[in-house]
Chains A and B, each alone.
Chain A
Amino acid sequence: MRKIGLYSLLGLFTIISIFPFYWMFIGATNESGKMFTNPPTLKPGDQFMTNLQNLNASIDLGRVFFNSVFVSGVYVIVALMVCSTAAYALAKFEFKGRNAIFTTLLLSMMIPYQATLIPLFQLMSNFNLLDTYFALIVPQLCFPFAIFLLRQNFLAFPTELIEAARLDGAGEMRIFLTIVLPSMKPAMAAAAIFLFMTQWNNFMWPLVATTSNEMATLPVALSSLIGLSIIDYGQVMMGVTIATIPIIVFFLALQRHFISGMLGSAVK
């Protein structure tokens, strides 16, 4: 009896969690009006290509998709370098100001993003960097949560191994790259997924930092579609699908690392 209750509860929440995704797919493959019929249309339609073409006519899909992939991809690689070296220093070296730096990084997570938005915009504007990949990528490269997550994992790395390598005469950079990092793959994967998701889904900063349609990222272009006076819902649903599928595939492929990485950082 009790088990039936448990499974019904979990089943119900599974449906609530998944149904909007299914509905998104229904919308992307049907005509605009099919989303508002009674009884509802629950079967995929044959308008996939039409919706895709219409979407492409509205937002230069190829360019916008490239922008999102390029910005997120470059961001993850550079942010991982910046954050992992910082996390390593904070975890494994004694130096003046270490605690102050770490505390400041943690405290900065409490500052609402909006408090930095306007000066960031002015800074980019003054250097004529608005509407560039630089503006989209660079400001958030130092991501305190990623540093925190990586530091937690680096702390667990045996210091004796580092010291042994030093006695063997290995340089510090070599120790970091060839001894520490290879054993930190799960932590780096978790941080990479987190950084990728954050950047792929980012909206407010790209919205203010880009002014031309050529530099828009997927969320910005999507948002512009619902600002039109007549909304083609099939096209919009196709856009939502294209913004959502890559991140879901990415997540499903790496979810083991991601959830364990998140778990690690939450409890330690």
Chain B
Amino acid sequence: MKTNKSLPYLFIAPALLLFTLFTIYPIFSSFFLSFQSMEGGKYEFTGLSNYTRLFGDDIFWKALGNTGVILIVQVPVMILLALVLANALNSQLLKLKGFFRVSFFLPAVTSLVAYSILFSIILQDEGIMNTILGFFGIDAIQWLGDPFWAKVSIIVAMTWRWTGYNMVIFLAALQSLSREVYEAADLDGANRIQKFFHVTVPQLKPVILFATILSTIGTLQLFDEPFNLTKGGPADSTMTLGLYIYQNGFEYFDFGYASAIAYVVVLLVGILTFFQFKFTGDKS
């Protein structure tokens, strides 16, 4: 079928134009900006100075460490939880499936700002979380005031927000798995837990990889939660790379330095994605 040669380009032109202007151009522009610093009122090329400055910047290392800790704890916990819930919802005999699915997904619909603020109120020293813990005889925890618990708060909040989202992705994949493999496992006398780890998880590997990469990218950009929940505190214990980029760019107006941190994030996304592909041995 012959069609006019320019026609496909006409269809794609608006998207391409917007994409070039507002995505491609900024990506390159911020890369060049990361080699510049403000000297006497205007930006000058200063080589790697922004990057070398990072090495001596304690807050940067703290932000990197915090982001790493949150990543290492939060993503696996959430993925496992999402898998368990998806597996439970996929059960043949279960009633109220639609209700559970919508309930679990509901947190993923709300804005990051709204739920961060909500959690900041729930987690106050005198807040309802501590009141509930009190009923079980657990002493009040300084959720937002203690460096360790502040990180836990961020992790709890993120897990609440995103587990249902990942669950839906896994549920979709589960529904496309063939029943025969499970019947074979039944014949071999596998129990539920064995089936989960030896039949379900291996078959879902590509989807788990997909969800893990998405969550990793999301966590490396973490901003809304610390900004609204803890402001990065106490003592920078919840400072993240995303928050530090914002502070440098829009509070100190050091665009060059902020861009350099942004490119560290780009690099990390690249490296982690590469290793996640490698680790799971997926060639595509």
| Complex Cα–Cα for A114 and B242 (A) | 7
The reply to whether A267 and B114 form a contact with Cβ atoms under 8 Å apart is no
Q: Per-position contact with B for A107-146: 1 when CB-CB < 8 Å, else 0?
A: 0111111111111111100000000000000111110100
Within 8 A of B (CB), among A29-72: 35-36, 38-40
Number of interface residues of B (CB under 8 A): 94
The verdict on B79 contacting chain A, using a C-beta distance below 8 Å, is no
The reply to whether A240 and B117 form a contact with Cβ atoms under 8 Å apart is yes
The reply to whether A259 and B262 form a contact with Cβ atoms under 8 Å apart is no
With A14-B104, A223-B228, A236-B121 known to touch, is A248 a contact of B18 (CB < 8 Å)?
no
Majority SS of interface residues in chain A? helix
| Complex Cα–Cα for A236 and B118 (A) | 9
| Complex Cα–Cα for A263 and B93 (A) | 21
The reply to whether A266 and B207 form a contact with Cβ atoms under 8 Å apart is yes
The verdict on B234 contacting chain A, using a C-beta distance below 8 Å, is no
Chain B contacts for A77, CB-based, 8 A: none
Chain B contacts for A21, CB-based, 8 A: 106
The reply to whether B127 and A201 form a contact with Cβ atoms under 8 Å apart is no
The reply to whether A36 and B27 form a contact with Cβ atoms under 8 Å apart is no
The verdict on B239 contacting chain A, using a C-beta distance below 8 Å, is no
Q: Tell me which of A89, A112, A142, A201 contacts B113 (CB under 8 A).
A: A201
The reply to whether A266 and B109 form a contact with Cβ atoms under 8 Å apart is no
The reply to whether A20 and B266 form a contact with Cβ atoms under 8 Å apart is no
The verdict on A4 contacting chain B, using a C-beta distance below 8 Å, is no
Q: In the complex, which residue of chain A has the Cβ closest to the Cβ of B256?
A: A118
Least distance between A69 CB and chain B CB atoms (Å) = 14
| Complex Cα–Cα for A24 and B277 (A) | 41
With A3-B93, A115-B30, A267-B172 known to touch, is A23 a contact of B14 (CB < 8 Å)?
no
Chain B contacts for A244, CB-based, 8 A: 110-111, 114
The reply to whether A142 and B15 form a contact with Cβ atoms under 8 Å apart is yes
The reply to whether A86 and B249 form a contact with Cβ atoms under 8 Å apart is no
Chain A contacts for B112, CB-based, 8 A: 201, 203, 219
The reply to whether B8 and A93 form a contact with Cβ atoms under 8 Å apart is yes
Q: Tell me which of A27, A118, A263 contacts B172 (CB under 8 A).
A: A263
With A36-B126, A39-B131, A139-B22 known to touch, is A101 a contact of B110 (CB < 8 Å)?
no
The reply to whether A243 and B113 form a contact with Cβ atoms under 8 Å apart is yes
Chain A contacts for B16, CB-based, 8 A: 86, 101, 142
| Complex Cα–Cα for A90 and B19 (A) | 15
The reply to whether B109 and A119 form a contact with Cβ atoms under 8 Å apart is no
Chain A interface size band reads 35 or more
Q: Per-position contact with B for A80-116: 1 when CB-CB < 8 Å, else 0?
A: 0111011011100111001001001100111111111
Chain B contacts for A117, CB-based, 8 A: 26, 30, 245, 249, 262
| Complex Cα–Cα for A94 and B266 (A) | 32
The verdict on B23 contacting chain A, using a C-beta distance below 8 Å, is yes
The reply to whether B111 and A219 form a contact with Cβ atoms under 8 Å apart is yes
The reply to whether B27 and A166 form a contact with Cβ atoms under 8 Å apart is no
Q: Which of B50-58, B69-77, B145-153, B217-225 touches A?
A: B217-225
| Complex Cα–Cα for A19 and B102 (A) | 14
Least distance between A172 CB and chain B CB atoms (Å) = 6
The reply to whether A35 and B262 form a contact with Cβ atoms under 8 Å apart is no
Q: Tell me which of B113, B128, B258, B273 contacts A219 (CB under 8 A).
A: B113
Q: Per-position contact with B for A237-268: 1 when CB-CB < 8 Å, else 0?
A: 10110011001100110010001001110110
The verdict on B105 contacting chain A, using a C-beta distance below 8 Å, is yes
The verdict on B124 contacting chain A, using a C-beta distance below 8 Å, is yes
Within 8 A of A (CB), among B115-161: 115, 117-122, 124, 126-128, 131-132, 134, 160
The reply to whether B88 and A6 form a contact with Cβ atoms under 8 Å apart is yes
The verdict on B182 contacting chain A, using a C-beta distance below 8 Å, is no
The reply to whether A115 and B122 form a contact with Cβ atoms under 8 Å apart is no
Within 8 A of B (CB), among A1-35: 3, 6, 9-10, 13-14, 16-18, 20-21, 23-24, 27, 35
| Complex Cα–Cα for A263 and B168 (A) | 7
With A10-B88, A35-B127, A119-B33 known to touch, is A240 a contact of B207 (CB < 8 Å)?
no
| Complex Cα–Cα for A109 and B25 (A) | 15
The reply to whether B249 and A118 form a contact with Cβ atoms under 8 Å apart is yes
The verdict on B269 contacting chain A, using a C-beta distance below 8 Å, is yes
Q: Per-position contact with A for B246-262: 1 when CB-CB < 8 Å, else 0?
A: 10011000010011001
Which of B19, B104, B112, B127 has the largest count of A CB atoms less than 10 A from its CB? B19
With A23-B122, A115-B30, A247-B110 known to touch, is A95 a contact of B18 (CB < 8 Å)?
no
6 additional contacts, CB 8 Å, given A123-B21, A243-B111? Answer: A89-B12, A101-B16, A116-B27, A118-B262, A141-B22, A147-B15
